[in-house]
Amino acid sequence: MRLDVITIFPEYLEPLNVSLVGKARARGQLDVRLHDLREWTHDKHHTVDDTPYGGGPGMVMKPDPWGEALDTVLASGEGEPVLVVPTPSGVPFTQQLAVELSAKPWLVFTPARYEGIDRRVIEEYGDRLDVREVSIGDYVLAGGEAPVLVMVEAIARLLPGVLGNAASHQDDSFAPGAMADLLEGPVYTKPPEWRGRTIPDVLLSGHHGKIARWRRDEAFRRTDRNRPDLIERADPAAFDKKDRDI
């Protein structure tokens, strides 16, 4: 997979050089290219924003630098990418969307600052590309770079071979299938006793069926407590089927 990020703060994306994404890049599983939007400005101040038509607070990102940057990036690759525009007014970024995007060969992210990008940029590229305006939650940030880090991590970990244990993401909270609408339950590791706190006996029983059922019950319990909005969608039968697959 190729990922391009066009931003006025390329240094904000440095975390893409470390950990899971960094290793995937080193192994050649991910081709991440960062582009400084200001390279496509032509004035001495490298201006990327201007006052909004119609008045109002803040500044809007000018269309010209984005158009030149996107034209350059698009001309440098094979085929057409999905254009991912991080914005609080986008569709929710979900595990399902991460799964969908992880199957695409090329993604281009356009994190904005200020009050956003001139709408005509989205319209211009929306005429020929699959453009997704995506929100990572109901809150506003100073820029879209942190959402890019969030989305890239969620997407990269789904790429084949990136996560050590293939099963690791099949049991994720929200993973398609049995966990689609359930939060992951509690997890434990050694030592068996820590500050007087022990491990649930069932996890030491070696009985896979009982362990799976305990994990399902804990998932339902945590979902009911933290995300009652999901609980009515969760399907115990689907989870039980996964039990039988064990």
97 binds ligand J9T (CB under 6 A): no
Please identify which residue in 35, 147, 149, 162 interacts with ligand J9T, judged by CB under 6 A: 147
The torsion of the CA quartet 70, 71, 76, 79, rounded to 10 degrees, works out to: 90
Q: Would residue 25 show up in a list of annotated catalytic residues for this protein?
A: no
Number of residues that bind ligand J9T (CB under 6 A): 13
Question: By Cβ distance, which residue is nearest to ligand J9T?
Answer: 141
The pair of structure tokens assigned to 184 is: 């992951």
| CA 142 to mean position of chain CA atoms | 18
Task: Pick out residues in 54-93 that bind ligand J9T (CB under 6 A).
Answer: 86-88
Q: Would residue 157 show up in a list of annotated catalytic residues for this protein?
A: yes
Task: Pick out residues in 99-118 that bind ligand J9T (CB under 6 A).
Answer: 112
Catalytic residue among 10, 88, 184, 217: 88
| Residue 180 to residue 173: CA distance in whole angstroms | 7
Please identify which residue in 57, 139, 165, 187 interacts with ligand J9T, judged by CB under 6 A: 139
Q: Would residue 172 show up in a list of annotated catalytic residues for this protein?
A: yes
Q: Would residue 88 show up in a list of annotated catalytic residues for this protein?
A: yes
Summarize the chain as % helix, strand, coil (round to 5): 40, 20, 40
Nearer to ligand J9T, 90 or 185 (CB): 90
Q: E strand or H helix at 60, and its extent?
A: strand 60-61
- Indicate the burial class of 101 (C-beta count within 10 angstroms; 0-12, 13-18, 19 or more): buried
Residues annotated as catalytic (active site), given as ranges: 88, 115, 157, 172
Residues that bind ligand J9T (CB under 6 A): 86-88, 112, 135-137, 139-141, 143-144, 147
